[in-house]
Every structure is written in C-alpha cells, then in structure tokens.
Amino acid sequence: GHYEQWDFDKKSARVRPRSAAQLLSERLQRMRRPAEVVQAVVGAGQELGALALPVTKATLSRLAEPAAKGTSSSVVRDLDAARRRLVEVLPSICGPNNPSCPTGASLDSILAIRKAVQAMILAGSRNASDFEWNRLKDKVVQQLFFLGGERVKCAPEEVTYEVLTEVLAEPLDWDWASLVVPFCLAIRPVLAEPRPPGAYLNHLRIAAGLGERCALLAETIGRRELETMANANGG
C-alpha cells in the first residue's frame, strides 16, 4: 500500500515521504529472486547512488553470484549490466554526499566494498566486455582507495590492526605521498596495544620494501618492534 512511501518522524511528530533511495533499498532487501535484483538495479535512476551501505554490500554479494549453468545469453547480459551499473555508482554511495550515510562510509565499509568489487569483476562473463570490466574496475577501485585515504585523515580512530594489515596487503594502490603522515599518526594507538614481539614484522617488511615513500611508516613500525623486543628481554 501507499504506507510504504511514508516515514513517521518522531521528533516532529510528522509524516514525511520516503526518498527514492530508501524505497529502492527496501525493495532490494525484500527481493528473493536474483532476476528481481538484476531488474531493480538496471532500472534504477539516480537513487542507486544513494543506497544504504548494508544494502549495497548485500546487493554486491548477490550480483557476484555466477549465473546458473545453461542460463540464456540475454539473462547473462542483464546480469553483467546490473553489475556494471552498481559498480560505477559505488564512489557516490561511499562518498560524503550520500544522504543514506551523512558521515560517509566507514573505513571498514570502504575496504569491504572494494573486496566485493574484486569478486564482482571476477564473476563477470568472459567475453568481449572483459576489457570494459577491467577498465571500470581500475577506475572505481582507485576512487575507493582515494576515499579510504580521505577516511584515514578524517576518522583515524577507524584504523585498527586488521585495517593496517589489509592496507599493507595491497600497498601499491595507496597514495602514500599524501597518506603516509596521517596513517602513521592513526596507527600509533594500534601500535600501543599489547601484542607480542614480532606481531608487526611482516608489516615492517612490506613497508620497508616500499622504499623512500614509506620510510616513515617503516620507521614507526620498526621502532615499536624494537621497543617490544627490548621490554621482552628486560631491557
């Protein structure tokens, strides 16, 4: 019924219309058949770029599922079109101007969505469109890395041991020229957490291997390891 198109605002005790993005998010959550999800994504307008983050992650996972054996070529084309359509609006969904997430996507969310994009691209059909898929992936993934870097600067408390590990798992994709100083500041509380000597040796190896651009990061991690080993030896 029409009640689905309205929200009750408790603060003002008023009824207000739900946005197109809210309605789309709710529709996608209710859908059970993959074909419904595909058609909803392909048929969406600008509201697709304002999806709620949890719905975005779930939809990415559903679209990454391979087409069943024997699926017609037209259905596969629709699936690839839905994948491409959602991937290309991800920077808008994760960016600071998404009304569904006024504070912007968290660093964890950005990294999780980046992983989902990789899975999405791998799930794409192996045909002549592979070149476009790869070009789209490179463009969107780079934008997600940029958003991740900006998030480190504005929300350093979101950098955890797991995030540090994930960032250094793909170190060449980050803009270390602008990120190394804020990242080193962000990991200070992480490095102060109680962990045994050697907990950061792999991180140190990767940072040192990046050369001059990550010399400060390698120095920061290395100092922590030396201090931890000295304390363990009673020094």
Tens of pLDDT, residue by residue over 27-58, are 999 998 889 999 999 999 999 999 999 999 99
Residue 22: Cβ within 10 Å count: 20
CA nearest to 89, candidates 125, 120, 124, 130: 120
d(CA 191, CA 88): 36
Average pLDDT over residues 78-89: 91
The DSSP element (H or E) to which 8 belongs, if any, is: strand 6-9
Rg, C-alpha atoms of the chain: 22
Write down the pLDDT at residue 50.
92
Tens of pLDDT, residue by residue over 152-192, are 999 999 999 999 999 999 888 899 999 999 999 999 999 99
Query: pTM higher than 0.85 for the full model?
Result: no
Looking at every residue in the chain, the average pLDDT score rounds to: 86
